[in-house]
Amino acid sequence: MKNFLMIIAVMFLGVTAAFSQVDQVYVSWNSTECNCFDQGNSYYSVKVVIYDVANDMVVVEGTEAKVDFGTYNVYVDVPEANEHCANPNLPYTPNLKVMAGVAVMCDSYNPPEAVCNGYNELPNQACSDFDPYVQITVVIN
C-alpha cells in the first residue's frame, strides 16, 4: 500500500510540474548603449508581443522588461501564451508570430527617453516551440 501511495504522489508531482511551466521568450541584443551619457538610471526597455495569425488574435499585448546596462539578454515570461495554447476552443491550431523590440532608455533626459532601438520578429512559431523557450535576437540601431 505504501508503494502505491508513493507512486501516486510522484505522479501527482510530475503532472503538477509539467502544467506549471510558464512559456518564455529569450530576447538578446547587441552590446550598445547608443552614446547614452548614463547617470545611473538608464536601462534597456524590452517589449514582447505575440500574435496568433491562424486565429487572428493578440495573445500577448506587450509584456515589458527593464534591463540594466551591461546585460544584453533577458527571459520574458509570457504565461498568456501557455493559456492560449491550452485553449481547446480555438478554431485553428495556433500559428504564433513572436515580436520583440529593444530600446535604450537614456536617463540624461528627464523623463528617460529612447535614444535608439531595434525590432525583430519570428513568424510561424508553434506552441511546442516554447519548450523550453523561443529565442529572438534584436539588433539595436
Please state, as a whole number, how many other Cβ atoms lie within 10 Å of the Cβ of residue 40. 7
pLDDT given at position 57: 98
Contact status, residue 139 vs residue 118, Cβ threshold 8 Å: yes
Question: Each residue of 16-39: pLDDT tens digit?
Answer: 334 457 999 999 999 999 999 999
pLDDT given at position 20: 54
- Span 54-75, average pLDDT: 97
Residue 52 has pLDDT above 50, yes or no: yes
Identify the bridge partners of residue 60 per DSSP, sorted by sequence position: 50
Exposure pattern of 98-130 as b/e (b: 16+ CB <10 Å)? bbbbbbbbbbeeeebeebebbeeebeebebeeb
Mean per-residue pLDDT over the chain, rounded = 89
- Span 29-54, average pLDDT: 96
If one compares 89 and 12, the residue with the highest pLDDT of the two is 89
Query: For the chain, how far is it from start to end, CA to CA, in angstroms?
Result: 65
pLDDT given at position 116: 97
Residue 135 has pLDDT above 80, yes or no: yes
For the ranges 3-7, 90-94, 107-111, the lowest mean pLDDT is seen at: 3-7
